[in-house]
Amino acid sequence: MKIVVPFKRKNAKSRLAGILTQEERDALAMNMLCDVMDALHGFEIDVLTTSMLSNSEVDLSPHILLSDSGLNEALNEYLNSRAGHDNDSVMIVMADLPLISSKHIKEIEELDADVVIAPGRGGGTNILYIRDPSGFYVDYYGASFIDHLRIARENGSSVEVYDSFAVSTDIDEPDDLVELLIHGNGRASRMLADSGFKVVVRDGRVVIDRNKM
């Protein structure tokens, strides 16, 4: 099995612009990628991105695979390139899943289905495991969970849905940072806490607040 992690470098996490500067959003995205790389330790990993990445704590360089294509095009080229190899299964893991651990990856790999989908909140696909990439293609954006179910069925593939709160938690919007602060214990959650973020209860809802530094 190969694991591929698409990583968007430019204007990452733009929906967090109201509470994080561009520099902080870039750092958060990089910390989440490193948390994901920690969870994937021991597997064969390709990080699919548009330009070279470097990090002082995690050596990403052996994993970088450059592509100028958009997300779907780059991933579909990748799937095509894997089809027909021995042991050609592919797991696509999003880079903004700071709560995942190696346990999730192993459990997904051990399921029997041809295709395993771990949903994200809001109709998304956070991890997608494809046992045989020939004839499969991805369609991210929008309600990709529904699209990937349909593609798998059209392809005659059996499908299993992997049920995990941790895997469902992708970090896109301010409310998602609540989950990261409460349930996280990696680099991304430490960065948030070190940046003065904490959870508070306001009008009965749990939200994030930032201490004046």
In whole angstroms, the minimum distance from the beta carbon of 175 to a second copy comes to: 7
Interface with a second copy includes 163 (CB under 8 A)? yes
Q: Per the structure block, which two tokens stand in for 157?
A: 């593939």
Q: Per the structure block, which two tokens stand in for 197?
A: 């973020």
Interface with a second copy includes 189 (CB under 8 A)? no
Choosing from 11, 17, 123, 154, the residue that interacts with a second copy (CB under 8 A) is 123
Choosing from 131, 145, 152, 186, the residue that interacts with a second copy (CB under 8 A) is 145
Residue 31's SS3 state is helix
The tokens 């996280």 sit on which residue?
184
In degrees and rounded to multiples of 5, residue 66 shows phi and psi of -90, 140
Interface with a second copy includes 183 (CB under 8 A)? yes
Name the one range near a second copy by CB under 8 A: 46-54, 78-86, 173-181, 185-193. 173-181
In whole angstroms, the minimum distance from the beta carbon of 158 to a second copy comes to: 18
Which CA distances in Å does 79 have to 45, 56, 62, 114, 138?
14, 30, 20, 15, 9
Q: Per the structure block, which two tokens stand in for 42?
A: 């021991």
Name the one range near a second copy by CB under 8 A: 36-44, 45-53, 138-146, 184-192. 138-146
- In DSSP terms, which residues pair with 160 in a beta bridge? 116
Choosing from 166, 177, 191, 192, the residue that interacts with a second copy (CB under 8 A) is 166
